[in-house]
Amino acid sequence: MGYNVAIDGPAGAGKSTIAKLVAKEKGYIYVDTGAMYRGLAIHFIKKGLKAEDIKGIVEACKDAEVSIVYENDVQQIYLNGENVTAMLRTEEVGNMASKTSAIPAVREKLLELQRTLAREKDVIMDGRDIGTNILPNADVKIYLTASVETRATRRYKELLEKGENCVYEEIAQDIKERDERDMNREIAPLKQAEDAILVDSSEMTIDEVVKTICNYCK
């Protein structure tokens, strides 16, 4: 059995950044579940589907094969044999992933892959419902959050550094909408697991967050 650490929290809380650093510090394998959903989202976009077309999305899941490959210890996402890692972080893909991730067929497609990885390896996994749904028996559960303002500012700076045109107010609004959607969906809503440790990173540096979480892990 692998040793499992689950990090959940809202969009833009820095889950991926923190999870990668904790993984490096502790020698775990980092599993980015959000990237898997984004990989499937690319499949839907390529097919010209809208997130509201549930029937089309369910059908499209049947001929989508998402897999994870680790190249030089970095997770790469493959969609039907094509490496789509470089395409994962666009706003279009993020929104499609957020809107389709509550669809049962989409979740089922990825659930077994995620659980198999966790059974076989020492992993740290981040997402919206890792500790509550995907790995309910995880050894350590963290709920990582930050204020909307903090999350929007981080995302704004990240996009500017990539040279993308963006408006802070639009990013803040998008984060609020994602929170609303994630917390109120019927299937596996975003919520803090009863046995999860709350870490609010609004006033913390990345190093402080990593150190805090590492202290809870073996």
User: pLDDT, tens digit, for every residue of 145-203?
Assistant: 999 999 999 999 999 998 989 999 999 999 999 999 999 988 888 999 999 999 999 99
Q: Check if the beta carbon of residue 8 is closer than 8 Å to that of residue 129.
A: yes
Q: Check if the beta carbon of residue 212 is closer than 8 Å to that of residue 205.
A: no
Q: 0.85 exceeded by the pTM?
A: no
Same domain, 117 and 173: no
Range of the domain at 61: 35-121
Please say which residue of 97, 121, 145 terminates a domain: 121
Contacts of residue 5, Cβ cutoff 8 Å, sequence gap at least 6: 22, 28, 123, 124, 125, 138, 139, 140, 141, 142, 213, 217
Question: Encoding tokens for residue 164?
Answer: 């993308």
pLDDT digits (tens, 9 = 90+) for 131-157: 999 999 999 999 999 999 999 999 999
Please say which residue of 79, 97, 121 terminates a domain: 121
Q: Check if the beta carbon of residue 201 is closer than 8 Å to that of residue 13.
A: yes
Please say which residue of 59, 91, 121 terminates a domain: 121
Same domain, 128 and 208: yes
